[in-house]
Amino acid sequence: MNLIRNYRNWRVYRETVTELGRLSNRQLHDLGIVRDEIKIIARRAI
């Protein structure tokens, strides 16, 4: 079960990084995010 949970968490992390990474700097700014924070935010998502 732990393996499944880890895989799901990894997928959520990767999807979050990918989706936020696709946004322009302006779009990120509108959300109150700077590009350097994307991985931190993705970690919080899991």
Cα dihedral sign, 13-15-18-23 = negative
**Residue 31 pLDDT:** 97
**Residue 35 pLDDT:** 97
**Residue 22 pLDDT:** 98
Amino acid at 35: R
For tokens 């999807």, name the residue.
15
pLDDT in tens, 1-46: 799 999 999 999 999 999 999 999 999 999 999 999 999 999 999 9
Please state, in angstroms and rounded to a whole number, the distance separating the CA atoms of residues 8 and 46: 9
For tokens 């994307």, name the residue.
38
**Residue 34 pLDDT:** 97
**Residue 1 pLDDT:** 75
**Residue 20 pLDDT:** 98
CB of 33 closer than 8 Å to CB of 41: yes
